[in-house]
Amino acid sequence: MKSTGIVRKVDELGRIVIPIELRRTLDIGIKDSLEFYVEDDQIILKKYMPACSFCNNASDIQQFKGKNICSECLAELVKDFKK
Summarize pLDDT for 15-69 with one digit per residue, the tens. 999 999 999 999 999 999 999 999 999 999 998 888 999 999 988 999 888 889 9
Q: What is the mean pLDDT of residues 65-82?
A: 90
Domains of the chain (ranges, CATH numbers):
1-48 (2.10.260.10), 49-83 (no CATH)
CA separation for the pair 15, 17 (Å, rounded): 7
Measured CA to CA, the distance from residue 70 to residue 59 in angstroms comes to 7
The structure's pTM equals 0.60
Give the per-residue pLDDT at 66.
86
Q: Are strands 34-39 and 42-47 parallel, antiparallel or unpaired?
A: antiparallel
- pLDDT reported for residue 41: 95
pLDDT for 82: 85
